[in-house]
Structure formats: C-alpha cells, structure tokens
Structure 1
Amino acid sequence: MKVAAILSALAAVTLVSAGTFHDLDGLVDANNVVPNKYIIEYHDGYSHADARNALNSRKIDYKVRNEYDVFNGAAISVNSKHDGRAIASLPGVKNVWPITLHSIPKIQKSTVKATDPEAVSLHHMTGVDIVHRKLKLTGKGVKVGIIDTGVDYKHPAFAAKGAAEGCFSRYGKDCRVKYGWDFVGDAYTGSNEPKPDSDPMDCQGHGSHVAGIVGGDARNITGANAPPQPFVGVAPEVTLGAYRVFGCSGNSGTDVLLAAMEKAFNDGMNIINMSLGGGSSYKGNPTAALSDKLSKMGLTLIASAGNDGSEGVWMVGNTGLGDDSTSVASFTNAFGRFQTFNYAGGKYSYSPAANYGKVIDLPASATLVPLFDKAGVLQDGCDAAAYTGIDVKGKVVLALGDYTRCGSGARATIAKNTGAAGLLTATTPVGMTNIGGIAGFPMASIENAAGEAVIAAYKKNAAEVITWSKTPSDVTVEGGGTVSDFSSYGLDGDLRSKPDIGGPGGNILSTYPLANGGYAVLSGTSMSSPYVAGSQALFYEGKKNGPRGLETRKIFKNTATLTKPWKGKNLVSAAKQGAGLINVMNALTTTATMTPDHIDLLDTVNLRKTHKITIKNFGKKTETYTLSHTPAEALNSYYDGKGYPNPAIKFEEDFATVAFSQNKVKIPAGKSATITLNFAEPKDGDAKQFPIYSGYVIATPSTEGSPAVHIPYTGLKGDVAQVPMMDVQRGYPKLSQIVGSNLVPAPAGKTWDFKKEVAVILYRLGSHTPDLTASVYDDKNVFKGYLSTTNGPAYGFAGRQKNIKDGQIIQAGYIWNGEVFASRNATASATLPSGTYSVVVAAQKKLTKGVYPADYEVYTFSDVKW
C-alpha cells in the first residue's frame, strides 16, 4: 500500500443537497476509484448548457471529459476542492457517481490446445448448426457492437463474404468491421488520461476473440494466417462495430464505457456486447442505468456474468444487472470432433498421443486387456512389474490415466517393451488429457466413463475386439454441456434472478490479433456473452419485423435448454444457469411465450407467494398447454456456521412446490391466457443457513415436436436480513493506522494526530448491503457525523467482496482524516474538537427499510481520542 495513494482526501463547500451521491466503497485500493472524477446524471429535460452554468455559478473548477445524450449527463474532472456531494447539490442533478475502473475479466486457464477437437464449438448444443444449415441464417444485415479492447479488423476471419483474404483497410468494403472508435489510445491504463483516435486496432487480444465468437469465419482461410482447425462464429455475416475502451494494458473508466455505449447506439448497432469485469452489487450503477435506457430505444445489451464461481453465492457481475440487460453464464463445450473406436457395441472417442500424432489403425486381432492388479484395481502402468503375469503381446493395454506418478512417455516405453500393440489411458476424473507418448507407438487418452464402460464389457467377454475409425466423428465430450465451474453465482443485492441465460464459454477457439498468433483458446463468461450476442443477431435476421430488445430476451429464456450437473440428478440452480443454455433453433421456431421471463420470490419474510403468468399462443392453430414445475438444486453457502459465505457450495434438495390455478389451458391462435401460481417454500433446508432455492415453471404444448416454454424462479429460505454482513470471524471491522508504508492495527486508547496521520477502518463484506456507514458519536452517544473519506461521506451501498486473491484475504476500508459530514444532506466536512469519541461501522441488512440501528449490523470502536 502506498501512502501517497491513501492521502488524497478532498474538502467540500457548503451547498444545499438536491441529487444523490453514490459513494461506491471507499476502497483502500485506490486503483478502484479514479480520484476527483465523477459521472453526473441530470433529471429529464435538464440540458448540458444548464448544467455547465450551474457548475460555473458555484465556482466549481472542472473539465468536461464526456457528455452523454441518451444517458443525459456528463463525466467531469474536478480541479477545485469539491467532492461528489457538492456536485449532487446542484439544481437539475439526479445522481452522481465516482468514476470507477473496470477490468478485462480474468480469463480461465485452459489445458485445451487450439488443435484439440474440443476447442471448436460445433454449435450442436445450441441449435446454431441447424440454423446455419437449414434456415441459412448468418446474421447478415444485423449490427453488433463490441465494447472491449478493440478488434484486429485486418484479420481474414472478418473479411466480407467472397472478399480476398483480409480486411486491409479500416472499415473498407471487404471488411465486416464497418464501424468503430478508439476512445483511449494504446497508453491508457485507467489511471491516466485517454487519447482517443479513429483506429480501434486491438493490442490485447480479448476483443478480437470476442468478435470472432460473434461473427468470425475461419473455414476457408489458407496460407500463413490459416487457423489451427477451421471454425465459424455464431453469425458469420454480421456487421461489426469495434469500440475500444482499453489500452494495451490496465483498466477502463466508467466514463469511457458510457461514451462507447452511446457511440454504438448512434452508429445504429442493434446489439452491444460488454464482456467486462466488475464487482457484484446492485443495479444502481451508470452502465446499468444507460443500458436500460438504450433497451427502451431498441438496443440490446449483452454482458458477461463473471468468472467468480469459486467464490460462492452473491457474485454475479454488475455490468448486466440492468432490468433490461442480459447477464450471461458460461457452459462448457458439449461436442468435439474426434477419432473413435468401437468395442462391444460401444463407440468411444480418443485423443492420440502427440508423439504418435496420427489415427490409430491396429488390426482387429489386437484385443484389449485392462492392467489390473491382483485385487482387480486398474493400475497406472508406471511400473514394469505391473505387467507380470499378464499377457499383453499384440494387445491394447488399458491403464489408469492418473499422471501424478509418471508421464505418458514412461508408460508408453514400458508397454512397448512388454510387447503391447498399444496403450489407452482412462483419464481421471473426467474428460481427456493431452499426452505426449513416444514416437511410433500407438497411445491415446480416453474419457473416464469410456474406461468404465470398456472394463464392464471386458469382464463380460474378454474376447471382444477393437475396431478403429478411419474418419473423425462429432461426439459428446465428457463433462461438457453443463454450466462451467468458473461461472458466477447470483443472486444480486435485491435477491433478483441473475444471470439470465447461458452460452458456450468453456474452451472456445476464436480469432486473436494476427500479431499475437491469430488464434487462441480462451474460457470465461467473456466468451459466452458474445455467443448470446451472435445468437440474437441470427434471431433478428430470421425475424426481420419481429420482437426486439427485452421481448427477445424473454423468448430466448423461455426456450433455453435446462441442464443438470455432470452425473447429477437435479437441475442446476437458476442462480447459476439462469434460464438455461441458449437454444437458437427453439427460439426461432417457438409459437408461444411466457411472461414474465423470471419470478423473484425473495425470502421467507418477504415471500411473494402468488404470481400470475401469461402464456401467449402466436401460432396458427389452437394449442393446449400442460403446466408443470421442475425444481433445481438449492445452494447452501452458510452450512459451516461462519458469517462469510463458504466458497465450496453445498448442494441440497430443498424444493419449493407450486400450485396452478389450472394444470391445462387451451389457447386459440393469437390469444393469451393467464394462470395464477401459488408457491410454497421448501420444507427441507435450514432457514438459519439461508439456502437459495429455485426451479422452473414449464408449459408444454400438446403438438408433438413443438418446444416447451419455461421461466425460472428463485427464492431464499430464511430471513435474508439475518444474513451476516461483516466477516467478524476474521476480526472485521478493524481500526488501523499507517506506519511507514504498512497498514497495522491501531493500539487501544491511541490518541490520533490527524494533522499528521490518517485512520483506516477496514471492513470485509460477505454479502451486499444497501447502506454501509461509518460515523462518529461523542462521549454522550450523540451523533456527530459520517466519516469524511477519500471518496466523500462514508455511506452508501456496497457489494460483497471476494474471498482470497493471490493468497491474500480481500478487504476494503474507509480512509479517514478526522473530519465528518454532519448529516446526509451536508456537503461540507468539519473537524471535530479534541475529545473522546466512538467510531461506529454499520451495515444495513438486506431488504430492510434502513431504520437505524434496528436494521443494521453495528460495530463500535470506543475510546477513540484526538
């Protein structure tokens, strides 16, 4: 921690409050908030000229960074000693936020190589392959804006259909990247000033990968820029807009994101994709506010749900939290193109060893033999002694694919020396492993389930023979087709159902800047979000005069594919998969919709038991729908009795029940029907552990082959107001001081000299809070004011924090110079006289009215002197 970064406290002038200042966590990490820079939203009808006059009349020394028309506001830098509260007091101002920084989401590491079969999304799992083949939809005529690191528009995968290899000029006739702007310049990091220009060339790679998923086409590229294997994006003839908001490294400010969103709208984009990193909190942020406004004007925002699945509940990213935005979870690829072998009537895929590097073509006389020990347990093949007494000459050996003891080369050498014709290793626990092997010896990795099936067949008939395929086949991948482990869990701070839907995001081969190799395999919700954006482009092309915006989100959610965990028996929670995996063919062919597209039951205390849903039949004939309910697994992160949510979620069968006003409904063509639902909370599940339960209400048409439609619901058993806010088990909140360049606990009874030092009140939130305050009381317990921190008065909503990063506990804090704001309406901070005081940290509980102290967790530091 640098002392210079935490001593940037601001003063203020005395003005009358009008708007709302949103203090977004006075984080100790000064990189999260840009000092002295703010986003202002005006009331409807208030003009930029009026706002400039108001700023000038109050002698606020400022510089306009950006002005926004749809958002109706501006971003400014303040040079005088005025903070966000002072700006919020101006007439016509509705909201003020500090400018915060957004990152490129941390991409998940993938062991899959660009040449591996499972790296290519074959679009089977989403119906996109059928849409391409049968409906001939390619996204032509639809505009998708990529707000990201830019796009390598010279990449041949973005060339117009029939054009020569490559887009050799920016926005040229042969290039499908027709729009764009660089808002920042190469050197921008988020902590310096942007230098915009017209060239959105990507120097990081993330944006090019995202754009390739939306609309890249690498099926017919030859020469030096040929892909490691052919692939095609979701909408290969879509028109792209490249809006660069990141430099070659670092982060991007909210002010830049808003400018890019409005530019995309003004350029006529139909859809914008924002695969950005951010915190988990409430929808009350500038990007969510603008996205809802843009949605009402016909533009659709698709955003990544976040890659914090390892953190437990409450972690869905805030970029897609707008009411009309689409927050996208990630699913792992379900299909790959592999060579296969047949054994006892079963067909199994294999991945040949790299040093063998070709299709295995052994004669049928090469039967199979598992490498069992005397107890019948499959061995790993690392010891030559394991072959003693087993006849393996001319046979294919099956060994355990556990590579903790020795590598594939050693196993291959031992097997070859014992006379084996080949070696298969059954991976543990799932999937296939990239193995090296040795030259000239047939060796391959097979899936764990394939190994179990082969062993079972061998025990029935050891004389079964293996036959090897001549050409590859499209087969399912073990562990694929369900939600990625890294994909973030909801709910949001208001117990709203987020994420909305899922798309393929695990192990995706796509475009990359030519300067960085041209192609890469990446994983993350950064990859699933553009998949949904491309899917929406196909839908828009197919339904030229059809629904747009929020109505399209509803159709996609209604028709998504509901999934279970790998080898699980219950559906994945709606707080993880949303409405399920997107199915574009279903969305294009459905003749029904169900409204609303989700139901928020809230918690036990605020339970919304009764809901009405409307089914609309827009088909050409009368249809009868049968209503049903399928519950999903419940999420328990508080089973260990600790106040901080456990990252390792416990999955439970805590199922709600649903009663329908009618179980069947007959709806004429073009008409609608309304059904009343009455929910009852799960009988199982400990309310003191706050399990999040969910499920799906389904309407199945009687016409065979017609897709059913469904909506997710979510709820929490127990009183969410009792969910712990602060991590008291680790001693938070903490009153700390800076000694040298270190942050250390403040000794009891310390007398502070605020002319020379600052205090830091550290906190660690395990859940969102609508209002986190830090205030001062005198020795008679009289309220004296809210702490004046580096980002204004210490109150406002805050999101939960992650658990651990790089081995360090994540924490945040208020940096305090001894001054206070006397009330929430005050805009001037004041210094309190010397004396003995108490510093009180209070976190408002979820879904409460905010009555102090009843609705807060309260923590007091007594005997604070200065």
Structure 2
Amino acid sequence: MRKRDLGFDVEKEFNSPGLFMGSVVTLQDVAKVLDIPGVQAIRPVILIPGPKPVAKHIVTGLDDPQVPPDSESTHILTGVDKLHAQGIFGDGIKIGIIDTGIDFTNPFLGGAFGPGNKVIGGFDFVGDDFRANTPQPDPIPLDQCNGHGTHVAGIIGANPGNPFNISGVAFKASINAYRIFGCTGQVGDDIIIEALLRGVSDGNDILTMSLGGADGWTESSSAVVSSRIAATGKIITIAAGNDGSKGSWYTSSPGNAINAISVASLDNTVIPLQNATVHGVAHDPITYFATFPLPINGTLPVFATSNDTTVVDDACNALPDSTPDLSGSVVVVRRGTCTFVQKLTNIAAKGGQVVLIYDNGSGFDAIDTGNFTTATLIQAADGAFLVNEFASGVPVSISFPQSGGSFDFPDSAGGLISSFTSFGPSNDFFFKPAISAPGGNILSTFPVPLGTFAVLSGTSMATPFMAGVSALLFGVKGAAPEVGLTARTLFETTAQRVPSSHTDGDPLQTVTQQGAGLVDAFKAIHADVIVSPAELITNDTAHFQPLQKFSVKNIGTTAKSFKVSHIPAGTALTFQPGTIFPADGPVPLSSKAATVKFSETSFTVHPGQTQQITAHITPPTGLDPTTFPVFSGFIEIANAQESYQVSYLGLAGSLKDVQVVDDTDVFFGVNLPVLTDAAGNFITNATNFTFVGDDAPGILMRLAFGSPKVLFDLVDPNIKITTTLNKRAEDASSGTFAQVRTLGSLFEADFQPRNSDVDDGTGFNQLTIPSPQFANGTTIPNGTYRILLRALKVTGDPTKEEDFESWLSPILGFEAPS
C-alpha cells in the first residue's frame, strides 16, 4: 500500500498463521487496496451489541418465587445429571468465556482469580467504561457492573453446595475469562477476533461466546475466524440469537460460523414463584411472578383501578380525583397499551405501592417494573376474579406469606424451544442453529454487588450449557482434535427431537429453530454408533440435491440391527403469502412435509463395520410458493434399545426468486428506495444540494432479504439502463456487469442482512452523503447526477448485471461552493 501511495492507518495487526493473518486499518480507497495481488478480502469492522438477556431477575433470597423449583431441572432434561452421577465433571478441561468478564469474587465461582482457582486466567480487553471507544485493557477480567458473563460462568462452573442447590454442567473445568464488553455498550468484531486468538494461544480446549448480532451470512470476520479455530479441533459454542420474533432468515454472527456449534434455547420446565393468600372469600392461593416474597406484612384490601376486566388501557392515564388513598391497599390493574412503569406511576400518584398487574394474554412472565419493587404480574384468571369480587362489594384482601409461599410453577412452554430463539437457515443455506440447550428461566451466579444469583433467559444461557457438555465430552474422550472435530455431529445425531407445541398432532418444531433438537449429553458421550454427516442440506430448487448419503458405523462390541424411518418436522412458511416480507415469529408451520425414500430400510452392522445409506428427498407439494417454504425433518436409525438421527433441510423454491430490495410503500408511506434531505423529507423530483450546513442528500432503503453485494454508484443523469425497481424508458445496456458505466462508488457493502419490521435500528438502512466525495475520498465535481443502487440476488452471479436488482434516483444537482 505504501508503494502504491495509498493512504492508510494501521490500528491493529494479527499474526496467527492458519487462523488469521491481517490488520485492522483505516483506508482511504478500499477498491484500490482490494486490487493489490495477495489481498484476500477487506471487511468492515462490525459493531456487535452488548449481550442482553430476554428476561432478567435478580434473586432476592431462598424463597424468591422466580427461582426454578427444581434447580437441577436443566440437568435432568439433558442427561447431565446421569453423567454427574458417574463422576464426570469436566476435570482438566479449559474453557474460555468471551463475554463481559466474570465476578470471580462470587464464592460459588471460587472466590478468587488465578492459577489454582476456578477462574484461572484471562484478560480484560476493554475496561469498565468501554462503549466501542478507546479500550483500556487490564490483565484482570473482573466484572461487577454487568453480570452477563458471571451468569454464563455459573452455568458452566457453579460449585455445588450453594443455597440454591445448583451446579455447573462442568464445575471441575477451569475457566479463562476474556472481557470484551464494558459495563454497557457494544464492541467491534476486531476485539472479538483478538479475544478468540488469545483464547487459542492460552490453550483453551473450548471457547464460548454468548453474543452476536443479526447477520444472515457465514462470512463475517468473527464468524470466519471462529470457523477456522473450530476446524483445528477446538469446540466453539456460540449463541444462535434472540431474534425469533423477527422471523426466518435472521441468523446471528458470529454464530453463523460454519464449523462452530450455534446454540438455540429451550425453556426450562419449571419456574420458582411465590403465592399470595386470598382472604374474605374462598379462592386458591394466587401465584405472582417473583423469586422472593414481596416484603409486605399484614393483610391488605384489594382496590381495582377499573371494574371492567376487558379494558385495554387500564391506568394508562391519571386516575380520577375520586380515587381514594391507595397506600394501604393491594391495587389490581390490567396489563395493556402503555408501559408497566406508566401504570405504576399513575397509581403511585394516589399512594399505591403494592400492585398486582393481571395478564391480558401476552404471557405470564417476568416484567419490567422499573423502580417499583412491590409490583408484579399475576395470571389473567386470578386478576379477573379479584376485580369481579371487588366490583361486587365483597371485602376481598391479600397477604404475602414471608415463608412457605414458594411454588414450583410449571412453565406452560417448558420443554419447548424458546419463542425468542432466532430462526435460520442462513442466507447461504447453512444449517443454523445446530442444536438446542436449556436457556429459558435459568438460575445461575451473578456479581456479588448485583445480587449473587439471578434468573436470566436467552440463547446466551443455552450456549455455555453446550460448552459445559463439550467439557464433559472432552473429559471422557480426551481433548484430541479428532474428538473436537466430530463433537457437533455426535451431539446432533443423539439429540432429542422437540415438538412445536404440547398439543397432540402438531408437527415437530422446524429444524430452522430447534436445530437437531435438545442435546442429550449422556447419550452422546456413551454412544457406540457413529452416524455422519449429521446434517443433510438439499438446498433450494435451483440447486436441488435430492440424493443424500450418510453412514452408520458400529464402534461397539456386538452386532446391531437398525430400521431406517422418516420423521418430518413442521415446514416453515417463511414469507407472508403474496408479499415480499418474511413472516414474523413464531413462524407459521405446515404439516405438509417432504417424502424420503431409502436405499435400505433395515440393516445389520457388525463391530467395526460401516453401513452407507442413500436417502432420496422430495420436497412437499401443495404449498403456496410465495411463502418460500423451508421443509425439514429427521431420518431415524433405531432399534428397540437405541436410536440415532440425521437432520435434513431444504427450500421448496428458488432463493434467486426472493426479492431483495423493498420497493413498497408499506413502511414509510412512499415507494422505497427514496431520496431524502437532511431533515428526512422525501424527494421525488430533481433537486440541488449545496453541502453547506445540513444541505446534503441521503437514501432511505430497506432490504426485504439479505444480499451478497449492495452497491451505490454515481452515474450520468442520462444513463441508459432499465432498472428493476423503478421503470425507465431507456434501453438497458445488455451484457455483463462491467458494461454499466459508473462515475464512481459512493458506498459498497458485502453480505448484508435483511431488515426487520421492528423500529429498533434494524428496520431500515440510510445512506448519507454529507460531502461531495466518492468513497475513495476524491471530490465529486459540481454537476448533475443520479445515484444507482444495485443489490445482488442470493445465489446471483456478481459478474452479471441481470442478477442484480436496481434502482435509479431522481436527478441530483451538486452545487458545492468552490
């Protein structure tokens, strides 16, 4: 670059042969650097949001109602309890946790730091005050302000003998902590890569990352490096993401790493909650969502803010002047419309502090009540009962037992995939997530200043569980590379299939959300049959591969006979019918399934021998093609004593037919993409810009699906090109991509994820042009231009213009003062 006189600044260098040789640089002309022989790729530094659990509750004591009643239920679900009974605890295995750091002063994580302790080492790459600004590294990865990494560490390594009788999956393993987040904020994936490489050089057998951001592709820098590390035989477990509400094709990186284990979440079967006692009328105790009893002594009368149990905005406005002093009452209010804090603020204005919010069907779960510590959620039927009794004049009252009120509340979604788990597959059609582990309503350790224990939910909780199971595997079979390289296959082929609901007749959950199913640690570690590969991907119809092969190897001591059968899962209808928009989660499922025929339906395999099976997979028929159905299921290899499985995945449609760029007016009331000014006004006619102050153009756009390449170029206003997204009269230049004449690049990005339909920063993209400059820093002369947007379709050929969707802006006049 120096020889070519290309301006750059080196921020960081990586020198890990076989894993990553490269630098973090600030470049002036990316295109020219990419043209240098030997340059493999240039990727932007991507900001990854700080880990945020889906639900969080600080445990207040032994009788806290939110503590799961059976604290080892997750171990029972997965066979970890059986391995512990055999004395298998992960002795001698090193696990690197890349997260927010760990409060190793927590006595149940050993209470100290350094060799000879549970947390043997690590590094703080960023410091407390890091917000993707200048890092302040420190050799001690202590976190007492966030807590996420401490919760992760407890799932792996909490010592038994604590007040809640929990234990880590591999509590005799050693932990290295790598802190890459401050107390809040995000991190660049260059620091993630730095931590990964440090984790390798420190000799960890397993690396685990409960972090990520929606990406959709396997190509992010941190995903590629993670995949390379996993290819050496180390096990890497990474969160699948908590974006289940945003639908399919929304996988997370670095969890998309091809060789890593992307982990989905399953809800715990029980939630430890508290019961309140009803007085004045016969009624069962009322369960309220809290781990510990509300600190309320005595018996308080009930007051309902509305006698109407169907009201949608109960207490969302100031309570009427006729409202009595509520300081001595239990106030009952219906959930809905406004925030809980707004309701509670209005109630507090009348003196009310003890509040029971009754559910409206949104779900009985932990809620955010802000600083109102004596407010919590109860179930809909209980709330309606209290309101009706109050309205009829019955003197009903409530007390909150300070002991003996703990109740093991059966989670109605327990044993199902958590609704928040992100749906795959990746846009480049990789099998993500890989497997599931318990992640919903998980009790674990927390920083001592923040409460010592907490109940959190997220794929962040499932991921360290799989790291712990991996440590148990290494502890039994040794941590040789060949064990690590086959671990994911072993876990997937021995997993437990998960239904989509507890209703008989409903299909199994789509493989695009459960992966191969819930891990069965005991079965995996004691398996004497090896089935491989574990994942069969038929691809889309344009690249369909109906014939798939797998092998069954007997490593046991006796001959085994098996039957082969097909067990379909639900077919995910990934798009809203007749639209270009993905279906929100929970993604609708169809029972119409693929058909699978086998070369052998029964066979016997002797010790040391291998049987190969060919499966012929035919996509389901009779489905709406505009929903781009993703079909999936399992091939079971079983006898009366044991069973194994192979998971498969395919698309009954062509990815190249999926529209990439949103050209509708659904989200902004104007057809997209659209030119904007600095104030956000939409511009549809020729407009001049001076670039003085805020007088500069921008483009608002949305991607309805991911794109491998998105280009914004400046072109002549009279260019002859027929765009796909806004029709123009001129004839298109025929031929290859290079035949479209451009004046210079404004912006280029590879492997872009689709946008969501949620206004949380993921709902749209905005390109701003604050000064008249091309992407390489050269000045754009004053004149008239158009902006040409092109987005490559998935599976499209980047050398062919016809494989791009395109849009041409109105004419822009550049009139920057000289």
Q: Same fold per TM (> 0.5)?
A: yes
Paired residues of 1:733 and 1:841 also in contact (CA < 8 A): no
One of 673, 677, 693 as aligned partner of 1:734? 673
AA aligned to 2:464 is P
Q: 1:614 to 1:755 in 2, by over 3 A?
A: farther
CA shift for structure 1 position 533? 0.6
- Within the candidate set 813, 836, 845, 2:767 is matched to 813
What does residue range 371-382 of structure 1 map to in structure 2 within 5 Å? none
Alignment of 1:754-765 (within 5 A): 757-765=695-703
Residues 352 and 256 from structure 1, CA distance in 2 versus in 1: closer, same or farther, beyond 3 angstroms? closer
**Would the aligned equivalents of 2:29 and 2:777 in 1 still touch at CA under 8 Å?**
no
Task: For residue 639 of structure 1, report the CA deviation from its aligned partner.
Answer: 3.1
* Distance (Å, rounded) in 1 between the aligned partners of 2:498 and 2:285: 23
Partner AA of 2:161 in structure 1 = N
Q: Secondary structure at the match of 1:775?
A: strand
Q: Once structures 1 and 2 are overlaid, which stretch shifts more, 838-847 or 243-252?
A: 838-847
- Alignment-derived partner of residue 94 in structure 2: 143
User: What letter is aligned with 1:600?
Assistant: I
Instruction: Work out the percentage of aligned pairs sharing the same amino acid.
Output: 28
Once the 2 structures are TM-superposed, how far is the Cα of residue 673 of structure 1 from its aligned partner? 1.3
Distance 1:431 1:151 in 2: 31
The 1:693/1:816 distance shift into structure 2, 3 A limit, reads farther
1:256-335 aligned within 5 A: 256-335=191-270
Counterpart CA distance in 2 for 1:584 and 1:332 is: 17
Q: What amino acid is aligned across from residue 114 of structure 2 in structure 1?
A: Y
User: Residues 535 and 350 from structure 1, CA distance in 2 versus in 1: closer, same or farther, beyond 3 angstroms?
Assistant: farther
Does residue 579 (structure 1) correspond to residue 516 (structure 2)? The answer is yes
Read off the aligned partner of 1:863 and give its amino acid letter: I
Task: Could you list the structure 1 runs, at least 4 aligned residues long, displaced by more than 6 angstroms after superposition.
Answer: 337-340, 352-358, 425-434, 444-448, 470-475
Shift of 1:104: 2.0
Letter of the aligned partner of 1:139 in structure 2? G
Of 558, 570, 573, which aligns to 2:493?
A: 558
Instruction: Return the letter of the residue paired with 1:582.
Output: V
Deviation at 1:784, TM superposition (A): 3.5
**Mapped partners of 1:84, 1:532: distance in 2:** 39
5 Å-filtered alignment, 1:295-694, equals 295-335=230-270, 477-544=411-478, 547-568=482-503, 569-648=506-585, 649-694=587-632
Secondary structure (helix, strand or coil) at the match of 1:626 reads strand
Map Cα deviations across residues 97-140 of structure 1 (whole Å, 9 max, x no partner).
1212111233212579662342734211111111112x211111
Contact 2:709-2:748 within 8 A present in 1 as well: no
User: Which of residues 760, 763, 769 in structure 1 aligns to 2:707?
Assistant: 769
Change (3 A) 1:794 1:296: closer
Higher deviation after alignment, 742-751 or 683-692: 742-751
- In structure 2, what is the Cα distance between the partners aligned to 1:728 and 1:809? 14
Secondary structure at the aligned position of 1:695 is classed as strand
Are residues 239 and 193 of structure 1, via their aligned partners in 2, closer, same or farther at CA, if it must alter by over 3 Å?
A: same
Unaligned runs of 5+ in 2: 276-283, 295-308, 311-331, 341-357, 368-376, 382-403, 721-738
Question: Which has the higher mean CA deviation after the structures are superposed, 202-211 or 106-115?
Answer: 106-115
Structure 1 SS opposite 2:805:
strand
Q: Measure how far apart 1:772 and its partner are.
A: 1.5
Return closer, same or farther for 1:356/1:61 CA change in 2, 3 Å cut-off: closer
Relative to 1, partners in 2 of residues 1:832 and 1:692: Cα closer, same or farther, differing over 3 Å? same
8 Å Cα contact 1:350-1:447 kept in structure 2:
no
**Aligned partner (choices 802, 807, 812) of residue 859 of structure 1:** 807
Aligned to 1:7: none
The answer to whether the 8 A contact 1:624-1:665 is kept is yes
- TM-superposed deviation, 1:865: 3.7
Query: Which residue of structure 2 aligns with residue 67 of structure 1?
Result: 14
Kept in 1: contact 2:676–2:700 (CA 8 A) = no
CA, structure 1 residues 310+186, in 2 after alignment: closer, same or farther (shift >3 Å)? same
Per the alignment, do residues 804 and 56 of structure 1 end up closer, same or farther by CA in structure 2, a change over 3 Å counting? same
Does residue 214 in structure 1 map to residue 151 in structure 2? no
User: Partners in 2 of 1:555 and 1:188 — Cα distance?
Assistant: 39
Kindly state the Cα deviation for residue 67 of structure 1 after the two structures are TM-superposed.
2.2
**Hey, what does 1:797 align to over in structure 2?**
751
Q: CA deviation at 1:808?
A: 9.0
Equivalent residues of 1:634, 1:692 under 8 A apart: yes
Q: Kindly provide the amino acid, as one letter, of the partner of residue 858 in structure 1.
A: S
Q: 1:130 aligns with which of 65, 82, 88?
A: 82
> Shift of residue 807 of structure 1?
9.7
Please say if residues 280 and 314 of structure 1, whose CA atoms lie closer than 8 Å, have aligned partners that are also in contact. no
Q: Following the alignment from structure 1 to structure 2, what is the Cα–Cα distance between the partners of residues 749 and 678? A: 57
User: What secondary structure, in the 3-state scheme, does the structure 1 residue paired with 2:150 have?
Assistant: helix
- Aligned CA distance change for structure 1 residues 75 and 246 (closer, same or farther; 3 Å): farther
Residues 644 and 724, structure 1, Cα contact 8 Å, conserved in 2: no
The 3 A distance-change label for structure 1 pair 171 and 732 is farther
Q: What does the per-residue CA deviation read over 1:68-90, in whole Å, with 9 as the maximum and x for residues that have no partner?
A: 31433233343xx6243344344
**Residue 150 of structure 1 aligns to which amino acid in structure 2?**
G
Counterpart position of 2:165: 230
Find the residue that maps to 1:294 and give its secondary structure: helix
Cα deviation for residue 510 of structure 1 reads: 1.0
**Alpha-carbon spacing, 1:472–1:522, altered in 2? closer, same or farther (3 Å):** closer
SS at structure 2 position matched to 1:509: strand
Change (3 A) 1:86 1:519: farther
Instruction: Output the CA distance in 2 between the equivalents of 1:124 and 1:475.
Output: 17
Structure 2 residue identity aligned to 1:171 = G
The 1:832–1:472 alpha-carbon spacing in structure 2 relative to 1, beyond 3 Å, is closer
- How many residue pairs get aligned? The number is 688
The whole-number CA distance in structure 2 between the counterparts of 1:600 and 1:199 is 44
Q: Which residue of 2 aligns with 1:847?
A: 795
The offset of 1:813, in angstroms, is: 2.8
SS at match of 2:570: strand
Deviations 1:631-657 (A, max 9, x none): 111121323422221314322122001
Counterparts in 2 of 1:776 and 1:510: CA distance versus 1, 3 Å? same
- Secondary structure of the corresponding residue to residue 729 of structure 1: coil
C-alpha separation in 2, matches of 1:528 and 1:587 = 17
Query: 629, 634, 638: which is aligned to 1:696?
Result: 634
Q: TM-score, normalised by structure 1?
A: 0.73
Quote the Cα distance in structure 2 between the aligned partners of 1:769 and 1:131. 45
Question: Does structure 1 residue 155 correspond to structure 2 residue 118?
Answer: no
Please state if 1:783 is matched with 2:783.
Answer: no
Contact 2:574 2:583 (C-alpha < 8 Å) held by counterparts: yes
Distance 1:836 1:57, change over 3 A: closer
Gaps of 5+ in 1: 1-53, 160-165, 222-226, 341-347, 359-377, 380-400, 408-424, 435-443, 449-469, 822-827
The verdict on how the C-alpha distance between 1:758 and 1:301 changes in structure 2, with shifts beyond 3 A counting, is: farther
Alpha-carbon distance between aligned partners in 2 of 1:522 and 1:247, rounded to the nearest angstrom: 19
Residue 102 (str. 1) matches residue 48 (str. 2): yes
CA distance in 1, matches of 2:34, 2:292: 68
C-alpha separation in 2, matches of 1:355 and 1:746? 54
Q: Report if the CA contact (8 A) 1:784-1:820 is conserved.
A: no
Secondary structure of the corresponding residue to residue 552 of structure 1: helix
How far did 1:61 drift? 4.6
Q: Distance in 1 between matches of 2:291 and 2:97?
A: 40
CA contact (8 A) 2:58 2:454 kept: no
CA offsets 1:688-728 (integer angstroms, 9 cap, x no match) = 2211111111111x352x2x111211111122212121222
Question: Equivalents in 2 of 1:301, 1:808: separation in Å?
Answer: 27
Partner Cα distance (2:418, 2:621) in 1: 29
Distance 1:493 1:518, change over 3 A: same
Does structure 2 retain, via aligned residues, the 8 Å contact 1:272–1:301? Answer: yes
